[in-house]
Structure formats: C-alpha cells, structure tokens
C-alpha cells in the first residue's frame, strides 16, 4: 500500500475509523495490509445469540482455511441473549438436542480466550464435567447463569480473576467449596434483595477465606424496589461491614445490560491499546 504517510499513522487512522458503524467491511477490502490490521479487532469480541448462529460460526471457521486461524484472536465470547434481542434465548434447543458439544468445541478452539459469558444454559452435572476441560488456561473472567444448576465454580481447573454467578442458589456444601477455592481471586454474585439472599450472605461470611481477595454482591432486582427490599439490602450491608464482602445495588439498567456493557467495553479497550 503506497502512501506518503507513515504506515503506523495510517494504521491508527484505519483502526479508529472502525468505530463508525458499517466501516469494517469496506476497510477489509482496501488491501491485504488493512485486512491484516482489522481481523484481530473484528474477532476480539464475538457475540452469538442462538444455537443456529453458533453452529454456522463454527462450521464456517473450523475448516482447513485461513479463517480457522481467526479463533486465536477471540478474547471475549458472549453466548446468550443480549439487551437488544427481541426474543428470549433458547440455547438448549429441543429436548433431544444437546448443544453442549457444539459450545464445548467452540470454546476449545478459542485458545487465547480471556472472557466467557454463557447465559441460560442448562449445565447438567455430566455435561459440565465434559465442558469444563475445554476452558483455556488463558481464561480470566467467567460468567454463568441464571439457572446454572448444581455447578460449583470452585472446581474449575483454570485460575480466574473473577467468577460471576447470576441468581444462583447455593447451599452449605457449595459455600464451603467456594471459600476453600484457590482458583479465583474474586467472586461476584448478582442477586435479588430478599430474606433468603441475606441469610445466605450471612453463611458466606461466617467462614472467611485467605484465598479470595473479595466477594462482590450486586443487587439487581427485576421487580419494583420496595421497603422490604430496602430493609434486606441494609441487613446485607450490615452483615458485610468489616469483611472482604461488598454489597451494592445496580442503579442503572438491568444485570443483562451491565454484563453486555462489560463485553463491549473489553473490545473498546482493545481498540485503543491495539491502535
């Protein structure tokens, strides 16, 4: 690509221009150089909102072709509904369909994955045991739920900076395994503000841990905020006072919007570092 401008300056111009919607394809077609610049940016954060899309993505990339190399660029992978979906997410398909195999294969292909969010997936124990071995060692942020089932993140075989659980129900054995975990630095739970959650939080704090740097409780009620919820939040704040547990209420939007903003934010931060 002949130009009077320095190559690095051209690169910055092209990469920052991708912030405008619809420019990616045009820049990809300019020449091989701009194509090479843009591919890591395009594949950094991938959003797949239904099972058919996941299968098409894997089928079109997991081939003896230059596209197969693009899995190495995926750093943030979102599987599930987004705030912009007009209908609900149905990753599980029919009752006879098992999407875990397809999702496991996709995650296994993403050798440099750092952030994985999976929503509304029915992880039965036998499926989880098969899936967790596909998690790459590069993974640092894992988000699962709602309705995850009897899966304990303490048994994950990778070292996480943060595990996020959405509306999980945890019993005593679950809490003991969490508190004895050496595989994660922080845990974030997205919960409702009610008496049961406050009781669980009290159990969580009874046994302190030297391994966890902190536990973050984010209250994200889908129902209207009322006096009883405010009382339970005050109770949780009192329970957490003086410990490594923080309690906060989601003030803007809902939990899905918050998590999706983190997914997109990872891509935006990459653009500025990469450019």
Q: Each residue of 193-235: pLDDT tens digit?
A: 777 777 777 766 655 556 678 888 898 876 677 888 888 888 8
Spatial neighbors of 87 by CB under 8 A, at least 6 apart, are none
Provide the phi-psi class of 179: left if phi over 0, else alpha when psi is between -120 and 50, else beta.
alpha
Give the pLDDT confidence score for residue 143 in this predicted structure: 92
Confidence of residue 94 (pLDDT cuts 50, 70, 90): very low
Tell me the β-bridge partners of 141.
Answer: 115, 162
Q: Each residue of 6-32: pLDDT tens digit?
A: 555 555 555 555 555 455 555 554 556
Contact 130, 104 (CB under 8 A): yes
**DSSP-derived secondary structure letter, 224:** P
CA 109, 49, 140 angle in degrees (round to 5)?
A: 45
Give the pLDDT confidence score for residue 199 in this predicted structure: 78
Question: In the chain, pLDDT over 90 holds for what percent of residues?
Answer: 15
């Amino acid at each position: 690509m002949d130009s009077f401008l320095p190559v690095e300056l051209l690169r910055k111009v092209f990469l920052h221009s991708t912030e405008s919607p619809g420019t990616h394809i045009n820049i990809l077609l300019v020449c091989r150089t701009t194509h090479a610049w843009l591919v890591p940016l395009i594949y950094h954060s991938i959003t797949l909102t239904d099972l058919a899309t996941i299968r098409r993505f894997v089928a079109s990339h997991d081939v003896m072709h230059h596209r197969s190399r693009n899995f190495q660029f995926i750093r943030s992978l979102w599987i599930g509904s987004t705030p912009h979906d007009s209908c609900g997410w149905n990753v599980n398909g029919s009752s006879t369909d098992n999407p875990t195999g397809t999702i496991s294969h996709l995650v296994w292909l993403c050798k440099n994955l750092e952030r994985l969010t999976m929503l509304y997936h029915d992880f039965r124990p036998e499926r989880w045991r098969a899936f967790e071995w596909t998690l790459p060692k590069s993974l640092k942020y894992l988000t699962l739920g709602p309705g995850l089932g009897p899966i304990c993140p303490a048994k994950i075989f990778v070292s996480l900076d943060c595990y996020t659980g959405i509306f999980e129900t945890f019993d005593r054995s679950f809490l003991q395994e969490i508190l004895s975990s050496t595989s994660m630095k922080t845990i974030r739970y997205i919960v409702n503000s009610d008496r049961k959650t406050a009781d669980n939080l009290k159990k969580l704090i009874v046994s302190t841990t030297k391994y966890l740097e902190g536990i973050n409780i984010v209250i994200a009620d889908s129902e209207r905020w009322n006096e009883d919820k405010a009382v339970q939040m005050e109770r949780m704040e009192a329970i957490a006072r003086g410990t490594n547990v923080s309690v906060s209420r989601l003030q803007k939007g809902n939990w899905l919007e918050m998590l999706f903003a983190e997914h997109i934010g990872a891509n935006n931060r990459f653009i500025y570092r990469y450019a």
